């Protein structure tokens, strides 16, 4: 597979560590839901250049729905910048059952730096096969900007990337399991 980078044409061997995001719409929160108090839209851009939301109240967050398979291991990460410190959890919930996930980095919240972008992650196993809503969730009122949600299968956090569905939309809305274009000068599959 070929990808066009900023400097040159990239092949699949250049991106051998690349993982597709399992969450759709994370660049602009297009597919996100807000089950409680709505976060505030902001002009702040994340470290990856994506749209961010700002939260100031308890339970003030955006979540992304995704179907997870029971027993599989997943790694959830995001970018967040705190204006002050408080208690935060990463969570996946399905309406009946809440799965709190202790994030790496937040073991001692008194030492979490403020006004700096952080990339916490959490590794967990799905408790059952169902649709979970992935989010970071404050139990206290706190001011924070967040974005760049990323969910991958496995126990290693990944840099933010588009989902395969989002990528297909970016390259022209191909509605096929295969992205293929042929011209006499170039063949891309």
Question: pLDDT tens across 76-86, in order?
Answer: 888 988 887 65
Q: How confident is the model at residue 168 (pLDDT cuts 50, 70, 90)?
A: confident
CA distance 5 to 26: 21
Pairing of strands 121-125, 9-11: unpaired
Q: Output 167-171 pairs: Cβ under 8 A, ≥24 positions apart.
A: 167/20
One of 2.60.120.260, 2.102.10.10, 2.40.37.10, 2.60.320.10 is the CATH number of 21-161, namely 2.60.120.260
Q: How confident is the model at residue 102 (pLDDT cuts 50, 70, 90)?
A: low
16-20, 63-67, 125-129, 178-182: which has the minimum mean pLDDT?
178-182
Global pTM reads 0.74
- Specify whether the CB–CB gap between 8 and 2 falls below 8 A: no
CA distance 159 to 26: 13
Any idea what the Cα angle at residue 181 is, between residues 178 and 184, rounded to 5°? 150
CA distance 19 to 22: 9
């Amino acid at each position: 597979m070929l990808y066009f980078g900023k400097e040159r044409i990239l092949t699949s061997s250049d991106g051998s560590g690349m993982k597709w995001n399992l969450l759709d719409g994370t660049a602009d929160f297009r597919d996100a839901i807000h089950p409680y108090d709505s976060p505030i839209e902001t002009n702040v851009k994340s470290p990856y250049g994506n749209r961010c939301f700002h939260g100031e109240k308890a339970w003030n967050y955006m979540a992304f729905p995704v179907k997870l398979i029971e027993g599989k291991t997943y790694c959830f990460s995001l970018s967040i910048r705190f204006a002050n410190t408080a208690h935060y959890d990463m969570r996946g919930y399905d309406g009946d059952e809440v799965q709190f996930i202790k994030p790496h980095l937040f073991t001692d919240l008194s030492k979490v730096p403020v006004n700096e972008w952080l990339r916490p992650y959490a590794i967990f196993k799905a408790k059952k096969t169902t649709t979970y809503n992935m989010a970071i969730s404050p139990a206290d009122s706190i001011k924070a900007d967040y974005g760049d949600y990323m969910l991958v299968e496995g126990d290693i956090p990944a840099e933010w990337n588009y989902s395969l569905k989002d990528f297909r939309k970016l390259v022209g809305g191909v509605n096929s399991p295969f992205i293929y274009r042929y011209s006499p000068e170039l063949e891309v599959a």
